Structure 1
Amino acid sequence: MNRNLLRLTAAIIFAMAKAGSAGAEILIGMAGALTGPNAYQGEQQQQGVEMAIVDINAAGGVLGQPLRLISVDDSCDSGQAIAAAHKLVAEQVAFVVGHQCSGASIPAAGVYERAGVIQMTPASTNPRLTEEGRANVFRICGRDDQQGEIAGAYLAESGRDAKIAIISDGSVYGDGITQETRRHLRERGVAETLHDTLEPGLNDYSPLIAKLQSAGIRIAYFGGYYREAGILIRNAREQGYDLQLVSGDSIASEAYIQVAGEAGEGTVFTSFRDPRRNPRAASLVERFRRQGFEPEGYTLYSYGAVQAWAQAVTKAGSIDPHAVASALRSNEFDTILGRVSFDAKGDVRQPGFEWFIWRSDRYVPLE
C-alpha cells in the first residue's frame, strides 16, 4: 500500500510538473534605442524580434514552450544600457537580442555575463565587444575591423588624387570605425588630409563644412550615426559644396534620407549584406511590407538572432546558458541570413560587408 501510494504521489507530482512546464513561457529580451535620435533603428530591431517570436511560437515554440518578448529602451546610452540590462536580468530573461549601439552593448555585456544570460547583438560592430572574452556574448553582424578594411581600400583607391577627411562623432561606434578605416587607409600608403570630431546632437555643422571646404577636401569619411551624417551632407549642399560623403552601416536606414533629403543622393556606405535580396527571404520581406514596415537595416539580423538562439536551445535540449553557448559555438544554423556559425569569440563567420549607394530615396548595391 505504501509503495502504491508513493507511486501514485510520484505520478501526480510528475504530471503536475509536466503541466506546469508545458504552460510556462521562455522570456526573451530586446534591448535597443526605442527613444532618442537612434529610435528608428531600434524599431528595426524590435520589429525583427517580434516577427521571429510570432513565427517560432506558431511552429510550437522552443522545447514546447512559447516565447514572450520583454523590450527595454537604452537610448544608445551606456548608463541607460546598464539599467536596461539589470531590468531584463530581474525579469529572468533567457536571452537578449541587443544592444544596438556599441557604446550600450559593451557595458551591458558584463551585467548579462554575471547573470548567466546569452546576449546576441544584431548591430554593434565595435570589435571590443567580443574581444573581451565573455562566453555569453555573440554577434550576428560583422565587425568594424572588417568594415574598416574595405572602407580603407575604397578611400585609398578613390582618394589618390583627392584630399580626404576622416570625421568621427566621438561615440564608441564612431571612434571604432574611423580608427579602423584610417589604419587600413594608411596601410595602403594614403594619409588623410584632415582628421576631426564633430559634436553629436547639433542641428547645424556649417562651420565644419566650411573647414572641410577651406582645406580642399573632396571626400569625407564619417563614422557616426545617420542623423549627423544627414545634417553634414545637407549643410554641404546648402553651401554649394560637392562633397562626396562615405560612411558606415548606421546610415542603412530610410531615416538617413529623411534627414538628408535630396542631398543624400549619391552617399556611399558600407553595411552588412542585405538579406532582403535573398530569394528565400522574399515571403518574410513581403509580410513586413504588408504591415507597412520596410525590413531594412538591422530588422532581419534581429530576426536571424532569435532563430540562431532557438535552434541552439533545441540542440542543447535546455535553456541553460552554458549549454546554449556551447551549441552556438559548435553548430551551424539555418536562418533568414543564410547558414551562419560563430567562432570561439562569438563573432559570426558569415555574412560580411558590402558597398551601397543612396539612389532615388533608397539604398542599392554599389556596382
Structure 2
Amino acid sequence: MTMKSMAGATALVLMLSSSLAAYADQEIRIGVAGPFTGSYSRLGAQVWNGTNAAAKQINAAGGINGKLIVLVKGDDACEPKQAVAVANRMIDTDHVQAVIGHVCSSSTLPASEIYSDANILMMTPASTANTITERGLDTVTRMVGRDSQQGEVAANYLHEQLQAKRIAIVHDKDSYGMGVALAVQQRLGEMGIKPVLFEGLTRGEKDFNALATKIKGLQVDAVFYGGVAVEAGTLVRQIRESGVDAPFVAGDGIASDDFPVAAGGGQFIKGVLMVFGQDARQNIESQMAVAALRKEGFEPLGYTLYAYAALEAIAQTMQATQSHDGAVLGQWLRDNSVKTVAGNKRWDAKGDLATPDFVMYRWDDQGEYSVLR
C-alpha cells in the first residue's frame, strides 16, 4: 500500500469513527434480542412490540437526556449459537448501549456473558433460569421472576389446591424447561411428594404419543410441564386424546397464542393452568400503553408489557445516571426503584426482582387465559 492510499484509508477510518461518534451524540441505541423467526417467533413479537411501543412513548416525551432511542433488532431464533452471534454483532457492529433480551434462557445465558465482558447492561423481559443471576454479573438483570419462585407457586398449587399425589413432570431439556421442572420437583419433595414420572422430551418433535400412553398408564392426578408453548400444546392435545383428563399445569413459557394453535383447538386447552406474573394489562399505569398497542392491532399478552417495562427501567436509569456504563447502570438499578407499566420495580444484589409476582392462570376454550380468583 502506498503512502497516499494509507493516508486515504486512515482518513476513511477517522471519518467513520467521527460519524459513529456523531450518531452516539444524537441517539441511544438499544438492542432488542429474541426469536423473531422460527417456532417461537410469537414470543419475539411480544418483546419487539412492547419495546417498540415504549420507545415511541419515551421519544415523544423527549427521549433520554434529550437523545432519541433507536432500536436494533437481533434475531436469535431461541438458538444459543445464534444468540452468541447476535450479541457479538450488537456490540461490534451495532454499537448498542443496552440490550433488552434475550427471551429463551438457553440464549440469554451465553449472550449475557458477552454483554458483561463488553460492560453493556442487559435486561431480559422473559428468561427465568436461576443461573442467569447466579454468576455475579453486575450488568445482568431481569424483569421477571426466577424458576425457583414460579416452581414453588406451581408445586404449592398442585399439592394444596389440586391435592395431587401422583404427579408426572415433563420438561423440554432446555435451560428454562428443565430448570422450572426441577424447581417443582424440589418443592414437592419438601412436602413429601415424589413425582411418579420425571422425563424430558425434545424440542421440535411432534409425536409424544408414547409419552402420553406412559402417563395414562401411571394413572396420574396431575401433569406439570416445563417448556414453551409449541411443544406444550402438542403434548396436552395428545395426552387428552389418549384419555387422560388430569389437570395440566405449566410454567410461564406457554404464555403465548402459540399454545392454543399448537394444541389444535380450545377444547384441548380448556382448564389448563399456568404460572405467570400478574397481568400488567390490569394496572392503572399500563392503560395508555395497552391502548396504543391495541390501536396498532396487537393485544399485549405475555411478555409484551414486561418488555415495555424493561425499556422504561433502562431509560430511567440512563436519565438518572447520565451514563451508558453497564456497571454504573446495573448498580443504580440495584439501589433504586423505578415506575413502570408493570408496577414499581426494585432489584436485589443479584439483579433479580426484589418482589416477584407469580400467580396462577387458567386457559379457556377460546384460547384466552385469566387469573384465578
Does the pair score TM above 0.5? yes
Report the CA distance shift for 1:162/1:185 in structure 2 as closer, same or farther (over 3 A): closer
Which residue in the other structure is 1:4 paired with?
Answer: none
Q: Tell me what 2:334 maps to.
A: 329
Do structure 1's residue 172 and structure 2's residue 172 form an aligned pair?
no
Tell me the SS of whatever aligns to 1:217. coil
5 Å matches for 1:2-13?
Answer: none
Where does 1:1-367 land on structure 2 (aligned, <5 Å)?
A: 24-90=26-92, 91-158=94-161, 160=163, 162-260=165-263, 261=265, 262-359=267-364, 360-367=366-373
Cα distance in structure 1, aligned partners of 2:125 and 2:150: 15
Change (3 A) 1:154 1:22: closer
Query: Matched residue of 2:30: which SS?
Result: strand
Amino acid at match of 1:154: Y
Q: Number of paired residues? A: 351
Q: Is the 8 A contact 1:99 1:105 kept in 2?
A: yes
- Output the CA distance in 2 between the equivalents of 1:233 and 1:269: 13
Q: What secondary structure, in the 3-state scheme, does the structure 1 residue paired with 2:338 have?
A: strand
- 1:82 and 1:213 map into 2 onto residues whose CA distance is 40
Runs of at least 4 residues off by over 4 Å: 19-23, 158-162
Identity within the alignment, %: 38
Given that 1:96 and 1:120 are in contact with CA atoms closer than 8 Å, whether structure 2 keeps it comes out as: yes
Q: Deviations over 1:321-362 (max 9, x none)?
A: 232222211111111111111111111123420000001321
Is the contact between residue 81 and residue 108 of structure 1 (CA under 8 Å) also seen in structure 2?
yes
User: Could you tell which deviates more after superposition, 142-151 or 254-263?
Assistant: 254-263
Relative to structure 1, the CA distance from residue 22 to residue 206 in structure 2 (aligned partners, 3 Å threshold; closer, same or farther) is closer
Rate the CA distance shift 1:300–1:73 in 2: closer, same or farther, 3 A. same
Distance 2:194 2:65 in 1: 55
2:221 match: secondary structure: strand
Mark the CA change 1:22 to 1:132 in structure 2 (over 3 Å): closer, same or farther. Answer: closer
Report the alpha carbon displacement of residue 161 of structure 1 after superposing the two structures with TM.
5.2
TM-superposed CA distance for 1:240, in Å, is 2.9
Return the letter of the residue paired with 1:361: G
Unaligned 5+ segments in structure 2 are 1-17
CA contact (8 A) 2:139 2:329 kept: no
**Residues 277-336 of structure 1, C-alpha deviations (whole Å, 9 max, x = no match):** 112312221221121111011100001001011101111122222322222111111111
> What is the letter of the counterpart of residue 298 of structure 2?
F
Contact 1:164–1:194 at 8 Å: present in 2 too? yes
Deviations 1:39-75 (A, max 9, x none): 1101100001111111111111111111101001111
Query: Is 2:229–2:258's contact at 8 Å kept on the other side of the alignment?
Result: yes
CA distance in 1, matches of 2:253, 2:125: 12
Q: Distance in 2 between matches of 1:308 and 1:150?
A: 26
User: Counterpart of 2:10?
Assistant: none
TM-score normalised by structure 2 residue count:
0.91
Cα deviation digits, residues 246-272 of structure 1 (max 9, x gap): 000011122211221120110001011
* Worse overlay, 113-122 or 192-201: 192-201
Retained in 1: the 8 A contact 2:170–2:223?
A: yes
- Asked if the contact 2:172–2:226 (Cα under 8 Å) also holds between the matched residues in 1, the reply is yes
Contact 1:22/1:64, CA 8 A, preserved across alignment: no
Superposition RMSD in Å: 1.8
The SS at the match of 2:360 is strand
- Matches of 1:161 and 1:257 in 2, distance apart? 25
Distance (whole Å) between structure 2 residues aligned to residue 48 and residue 160 of structure 1: 38
Q: Which segment drifts farther, 284-293 or 119-128?
A: 284-293
Shift of 1:227: 0.7
Any conservation in 2 of the 1:273–1:351 contact (CA below 8 Å)?
Answer: no
| TM-score (norm: length of structure 1) | 0.92
What one-letter code is carried by the residue in structure 1 that aligns with 2:351?
Answer: G
Task: Give the whole-Å Cα distance in 1 for the aligned partners of 2:327 and 2:217.
Answer: 56
Report the AA paired with residue 297 of structure 1: G
